[in-house]
Amino acid sequence: MKKQETKPGEATIAVTTGRSSRTHHGVVNTPVYHASTILHSDLASFERRHQPGNRERVVYGLLGTPTTFDLERAVADLESGHDAVLTSSGLSAVSIALLAFLRTGDHVLVADTVYAWTRIFCDEVLPGLGIAVTYYDPLTGSNIESLIEDNTRVIFLESPGSLTFEIQDVPAITAIARARGITTILDNTWATPLFFKSFEHGVDVSVHAATKYLSGHGDIMMGVIVSNERCWQVVHRTRNQFGQCVGPDDAYVTLRSLRTLPVRMQAHQEQGIALAQWLATRTEVARVLHPALPAFPGHALWQRDFLGAAGLFGVVLQPCPRQALVALVDGLELFGIGASWGGYQSLLIPVYPEKNRSVTTWDEAGPVLRIHAGLESLPDLVADLEAGFARLGTAV
Ligand SMILES: *Cc1c(COP(=O)(O)O)cnc(C)c1O
């Protein structure tokens, strides 16, 4: 193939990356390899199987097959990372990334607005291993320096923050971490590899819940850890030490979904912004928590560092009695009531940010809704919410 002068566009990468299928009789998509045992032609080949060399050598089902290698390659390429490993869930991607770089006696700084189960892992598992955890205000930026101890080994970031969408100054934090030899891990699930380029912003390790947009259809549990070259060996090794792997059918489906990630993200972005703008005009709404809206406090940082906005955002309602909130939510026809997000269907749930932080406060008086903008027709979604507000109004 002719060497490309300029880097191909992202949609082109999404279509062309991870296509070892070309060697599988010309079928378009890399086939599903169901594998545990891999048979060798002779003893010499068997004895050579773990020698260093080609990373994509098929030696044991746990360590990967063409189906999983292609998916790992594809996610790494989309984020311009060195390489990637798959794990069984987004949460295991978080926990394995942390355990790859933390040992007894170490200290980790964790953003106060991380995903709830990341916090639970940090609170309930790390202390038992003799690892100290300090939460920090996600808006702290370069002031993070004052929290660094001699034994700080990892700074964990998530931007925007779960539930409340605080945008972190990632380059300011990674610059300080780098100067101190501290590894940075970013939960980049919201932005996906398309809308935030972790490695261009100095991040060492980027984790994704592929359960969300990467698989994108509400039916897969999977995580991905993408890493730069420096951190790659330890990330790969730790994933293997924990015996993490994914089902071949799930890997196939997720790789298939990645082909449309740029198209889907564009659609989720437009739909999310349109809904957020409409919600901002409603008298029932106190604030809209959406980084792409100019009124949002993190908007300038979002504009500086991100290439787009996902379809997940928040809405703070004016204070209302519980029965009014119930009337709004229970009567919705298109917005599903359910955890997780990133699929084609719109979702809406109340969330409770005050329960999920310890060094920052959340003192909005009204209930907070988390909305995922799916791929339905916009006027139908607006009508569904409008009817919800009407129910809320009569129930007050
Ligand atoms: C959903 C989510 C996770 C966990 O992913 P699972 O696949 O559900 O384990 C981690 N981080 C963020 C930001 C998430 O939204």
- Do 162 and 283 lie in one domain? The reply is no
Cβ–ligand 1 distance for 65 under 6 Å, the answer no
Residue 5 maps to a domain? no
**Residue 2's pLDDT is what?**
45
Report the residue among 211, 214, 347, 372 best suited for mutation to probe ligand 1: largest number of ligand atoms under 8 A from its CB: 211
Residue 140 maps to a domain? yes
How far from chain centre, in Å, is Cα 177?
21
Encode burial over 246-257: b for 16+ CB neighbours within 10 A, e otherwise.
Answer: bbbebbbbbbbb
User: By residue range, what is the domain housing residue 280?
Assistant: 261-395
Residue owning tokens 């790390």: 126
- Do 175 and 308 lie in one domain? The reply is no
- Do 178 and 82 lie in one domain? The reply is yes
Residue 1 maps to a domain? no
Cβ–ligand 1 distance for 209 under 6 Å, the answer yes
Mapping DSSP onto H, E and C, the string for 33-101 reads CCCCCCCCCCHHHHHCCCCCCCCCCCCCHHHCCHHHHHHHHHHHHHHCCCEEEEECCHHHHHHHHHHHH
**Structural domain ending residue among the three candidates 210, 234, 258:** 258
**Structural domain ending residue among the three candidates 234, 258, 282:** 258
Digit-coded pLDDT (tens) for 33-77: 999 999 999 999 999 888 877 777 899 999 999 999 999 999 999
Residue 3 maps to a domain? no
- Do 64 and 29 lie in one domain? The reply is yes
Show the tokens assigned to 198: 């972790």
Helix (H) or strand (E) holding 153: strand 152-158
pTM of the model: 0.97
- Do 80 and 169 lie in one domain? The reply is yes
Nearest-CA residue for ligand 1 atom 6 is 90
| Count of the separate structural domains present in the chain | 2
**Residue 1's pLDDT is what?**
44
- Do 93 and 224 lie in one domain? The reply is yes
Q: Which residues of the chain have pLDDT under 50?
A: 1-2
- Alpha-carbon distance of 200 to 171, in angstroms, equals 9
- Alpha-carbon distance of 338 to 347, in angstroms, equals 7
* Residue 363, domain CATH: 3.90.1150.10
Q: Counting atoms of ligand 1 from 1, which one is nearest the CA of 89? A: 7
**Cβ within 8 Å of residue 377, ≥6 positions away:** none
Q: Counting atoms of ligand 1 from 1, which one is nearest the CA of 340? A: 1
- Do 230 and 298 lie in one domain? The reply is no
- Do 185 and 94 lie in one domain? The reply is yes
- Do 338 and 379 lie in one domain? The reply is yes
Q: How far is the CA of 67 from the centre of ligand 1 (A)?
A: 23
Q: How far is the CA of 93 from the centre of ligand 1 (A)?
A: 9
Nearest-CA residue for ligand 1 atom 5 is 90
- Do 190 and 281 lie in one domain? The reply is no
* Residue 91, domain CATH: 3.40.640.10
Cβ–ligand 1 distance for 162 under 6 Å, the answer yes
**Eight-state DSSP code of residue 254:** H
**Structural domain ending residue among the three candidates 243, 258, 273:** 258
- Do 232 and 377 lie in one domain? The reply is no
Q: Is 25 left (phi over 0), alpha (psi -120 to 50) or beta?
A: left
**Residue 21's pLDDT is what?**
66
Residue 309 maps to a domain? yes
Residue 84 maps to a domain? yes
Show the tokens assigned to 25: 């009789």
Q: Residue 117: is it exposed, middle or buried by C-beta count within 10 angstroms (0-12/13-18/19+)?
A: middle
Residue 204 maps to a domain? yes
Residue 87 maps to a domain? yes
- Do 373 and 325 lie in one domain? The reply is yes
